[in-house]
Amino acid sequence: MDLVTNLTHGFGVALSLQNLGLCFVGCMVGTLIGVLPGVGPVATIAMLLPITFGLPPVGALIMLAGIYYGAQYGGSTTAILVNIPGEATSVVTTLDGHQMAKQGRAGIALGVAAIGSFFAGCVATVFIAALAQPLTKLAQLFGPAEYFSLMVMGLVFSTVLARGSIFKAILMVLLGLLLATVGTDLETGQERMTLGIQQLSDGIDFAPLAMGIFGFSEIVKNLENPEARDVVRNKIGRLLPGWEDIKQCVMPVLRGTFIGGLLGILPGSGAVLGPFASYAVEKKVAKDPSRFGKGAIEGVAGPESANNAGAQTSFIPLLTLGIPPNAVMALMVGAMTIHGIIPGPQVMTKNPDLFWGMIASMWIGNLMLVIINLPMVGMWVKLLKVPYRMMFPAIGIFCCIGIYSINNSSEDVLFTAFFGFVGYVLLKFGFEPAPMLLGFVLGKLMEEKLRQALILSRGSFSTFIERPVSLGLLIMAVLILLLALMPSFSKQREEVFTE
Amino acid sequence: MRGWEREKKTTMNRTLTAIAALLGLSVAPALAQNYPTKSVTMIVPFAAGGPTDIIARIVNEHMSRVLGQQIVVENVAGAGGTTGITRAAGATPDGYTIMMGHMGTHGAAPALYPNLRYNPATDFAPVGLAAGTPILIVARKNLPPKDLKEFITWAKAQGEKANHAYAGVASVSHITGVLLNSVLGIKPTMIPYTGTGPALNDMISGQVDYMTDQIVNVVAQIQGGNIKAYAIALPERSPALPDVPTTKELGLDYQVSAWNAIFAPKGTPPEAVNKLADALDKALDDQKTKDRLLELGGVVPDKAGRTPAALQKLVETELARWTPVLKGAAGNDKK
């Protein structure tokens, strides 16, 4: 069989001592930057680009890829331990993951995240090897109209994310959408709501917003109430998930892998939707949805698997078409180009070493990540024992360094401080940041795609219902919304709220 | 920081620089002779991995060897590259901060950004032209016209019905696309994207009809048969795509390439500028560097085209060329 020969060839390439070493270095660096809040894979890969000059192209790309999925892996650690999502994809993990940490189940949350990610990574790798070509065609079905409808569906998930009042959640989504419109108008180049601040001319960055609204406001909240923090310190509990926990996670991991892998293929923010969608599904199918937001293990297992599956499948458009679906992949294109390989549809036939070697290295990388991460769970959990008066300055400093390194801009650090203040005020009034971040992430793409679709249809809104895929997505969005508004469901929600 | 504060700061910086220059007249040349004694920062005003960034990194590698000091790339992206150039223009002119400007930031920007805080012709000490990347006219593979001639007839007949994609205001594909439309005298519907990637994606799936972009961005898609190329806007065919005819052969007055060039802030000591220009010259003579640039489909300037004087002239010609073309283009209706 072709697939077997190709994969054997790939493993032959990836298992060479040098490539194995580079894969390990990539995974290690990725895990570290994932754990350091703010320092994202984009900044790291950009910094490491010159170093890869001296390496053979396959090895260089194996290492850079390792950094990317390693960071996705590590990002969940901060989300769980200190409630700071390093990446848009780990926002959802804060919801139940950090709650679990507060209940002394941090080790279990980290363990489940690692195991779920490993499983998802393995499945997604096989997925890429076997189905990369046909899946590319699936992504091609998505024009601007389909994307817009997909984003609409994504917004509906926000109602499920809310732990408290659904009304407040919707307000926060709208705020997120509004924040996403700050910046230069796509078509006219006009600056919108930038208040004459030059740094805002390209819009608000995700990192300062997320870091401020989650990280900084969390620090202020904890400082205000030191006893709450001590609870986390004193209750450590068991380190690794037990058999019961794992049994509970099997289905969420399977569903998360499927959802995340599928959405990951779509260029743009497809991969971001994965964890949100998975969380929404888990909450829907759960016997007792009220557990979510209070440390439900499924709420960690599903989204974490979705997140990692998406990180792997987002390589598909790059490897089969040469089109980068996100900023990290754009950097990978740059790295390939610097090495004289111009990514495109022929990479598979012209550079089989690169194509199959990278796919094989992803599987090896995932195995390495589990080996690196599981023993570290104990260490991370012990970190919670460090007195908070020593923890919070460190978290604050790492956040600032990370934010600064993204654009080499000190203004971004000031923005983070500002958003931290806003986040604290919102927290005090019982508004939740997660729906806002979802609105923000989807908003930019939504506006862009809406305008492209409407320009292409010459202003006719019927384009969204005339195109079958788009229509299907919109129908699904309506169904989810109806389900969310069903009386039994809202009753449960109120119970949660009044608690 | 608000605009006026920034301006105040820049004025203050200028005053300080002037005072320092007066006091340090005797010291400055000695310092410049030893230049460079530490690493040099090169601001690239686009994200890492893009065509300008790649050219900068390829050229820097050899330049660093000649200078004996590392040139470190700092990516400061935003507002069509003008954010990074604005910052670099205000840096201390000591030769330790330089920048990679391009046709957008030093040619088209004044026409697109009326509030631009620098003047490409007077606020810089040009170092030299690094490399250009040729522009191609590409279209979705099932677009009816078979060649450029048919395409021109088709585009004129379609009028607003044609869908022209571009990668956002002030991008290379925007600037060169507007030029093409003005040369052809057509007014298609322009569809903005946030980058070449998403635009190409929609072109491959047949949502949009045509666009213009740099060879490095589209060459793989053309070779793979995902899109087709009508012409390359060069005097001679590119070795990377020998089957694609030039606009010159076809008699179309559309010659354009996205040039990238190194600049230093105005007031940089001439000794430093000369050393940088010399290092650039040596880098472009280096066979390995040259090969890498050619692999990208890049065009390496000849000896005469690399000098600071030639670059200054290029900037002035480009400013004169783009201003009338881009008047009325998207982005220009800003107050």
Distances (CA, A) of B217 to A323, B23, B268, B318: 9, 50, 34, 23
Note the pTM of the prediction, 2 decimals.
0.82
List, for residues A449-459, the tens digit of each pLDDT value.
Answer: 999 999 999 99
**Three-class SS state of B99:** strand
The Cα A464–Cα A444 span in angstroms is 18
A281 pLDDT band, cuts 50/70/90, is confident
Both tokens assigned to B22: 């007066």
User: Do residues A116 and A278 lie in contact, with contact meaning Cβ atoms separated by under 8 Å?
Assistant: no
List, for residues A381-398, the tens digit of each pLDDT value.
Answer: 777 777 778 878 888 888
* pLDDT for B333: 41
Contact A345 B224 (CB under 8 A): yes
- Collect all residues of chain B within an 8 Å Cβ-Cβ radius of residue A68: none
Query: What is the ipTM score, two decimals?
Result: 0.81
Contact B220 A342 (CB under 8 A): yes
Contact A188 B79 (CB under 8 A): no
* pLDDT for A304: 92
Percent residues over pLDDT 90 in chain A: 22
pLDDT at A117 over 60: yes
Give the nearest chain A residue to B289 (CA atoms). Answer: A338
pLDDT at A492 over 70: no
pLDDT at B7 over 60: no
Contact A455 B189 (CB under 8 A): yes
**Among A350, A452, A460, A469, the residue to mutate for chain B (most B Cβ within 10 A):** A452
List, for residues A336-369, the tens digit of each pLDDT value.
Answer: 887 878 777 778 778 888 889 988 999 999 999 8
Name the residue with higher pLDDT: A20 or A434: A20
pLDDT at A232 over 70: no
DSSP string, B244-313: SPBTTTTT-----EEEEEEEEETT--HHHHHHHHHHHHHHHH-HHHHHHHHHTT-BPPPGGGGSHHHHHH
Which helix (H) or strand (E) is B180 found in, with range? helix B172-184
A199 pLDDT band, cuts 50/70/90, is confident
* pLDDT for B231: 96
Give the nearest chain A residue to B86 (CA atoms). Answer: A198
List, for residues B121-169, the tens digit of each pLDDT value.
Answer: 999 999 999 998 999 999 999 999 999 999 999 999 999 999 999 988 8
Burial class (CB in 10 A: 0-12, 13-18, 19+), B304: exposed
Neighbours of B183 (CB within 10 A): 16
Q: Which residue in the set B77, B86, B204 is minimally distant from A321, CB to CB? A: B204
List, for residues B288-317, the tens digit of each pLDDT value.
Answer: 999 888 888 888 999 999 999 999 999 999
B26 pLDDT band, cuts 50/70/90, is very low
- Collect all residues of chain B within an 8 Å Cβ-Cβ radius of residue A46: 48-49, 75
Give the nearest chain A residue to B167 (CA atoms). Answer: A186
Q: Which residue in the set B3, B113, B207 is minimally distant from A196, CB to CB? A: B3
Both tokens assigned to B39: 């690493």
Neighbours of B47 (CB within 10 A): 20
- Collect all residues of chain B within an 8 Å Cβ-Cβ radius of residue A338: 54, 57-58, 292
Both tokens assigned to B147: 């060649």
Contact B169 A186 (CB under 8 A): yes
The Cα A98–Cα A106 span in angstroms is 8
* pLDDT for A499: 38
β-strand partners of B164:
B190, B210
* pLDDT for A477: 86
- Average pLDDT along chain A: 83
pLDDT at A333 over 80: yes
Which stretch of A1-10, A219-228, A407-416, B135-144 has the lowest confidence by average pLDDT? A219-228
Q: Contacts from B7-13 at CB under 8 Å and sequence distance 24+?
A: B7/B117, B10/B90, B10/B117, B13/B90
**Among B161, B169, B291, the residue to mutate for chain A (most A Cβ within 10 A):** B169
Q: Does residue A178 come out as left (phi exceeding 0), alpha (psi in the -120 to 50 range) or beta? A: alpha
B265 pLDDT band, cuts 50/70/90, is very high
* pLDDT for B10: 47
**Three-class SS state of B132:** strand
Tell which residue, A312, A318, A368, A367, has the closest CA to residue A344: A318
B6 pLDDT band, cuts 50/70/90, is very low
Q: Which residue, chain included where needed, has tokens 């109209």?
A: A145
Which residues lie below 8 Å from residue A152, measured CB to CB, with a gap of 6+?
A446, A473, A474, A477
Both tokens assigned to A339: 């090495």
Both tokens assigned to B260: 């990238």
* pLDDT for B174: 92
Q: Which residue in the set A317, A338, A345 is minimally distant from B57, CB to CB? A: A338
Q: Which residue in the set A188, A333, A347 is minimally distant from B331, CB to CB? A: A188
Mean pLDDT within B257-278: 94
- Collect all residues of chain B within an 8 Å Cβ-Cβ radius of residue A201: 78-79, 83
* pLDDT for B334: 37
Q: Which residue, chain included where needed, has tokens 């601007």?
A: A144
The Cα A348–Cα A355 span in angstroms is 6
Q: Which residue in the set A42, A144, A189 is minimally distant from B170, CB to CB? A: A189
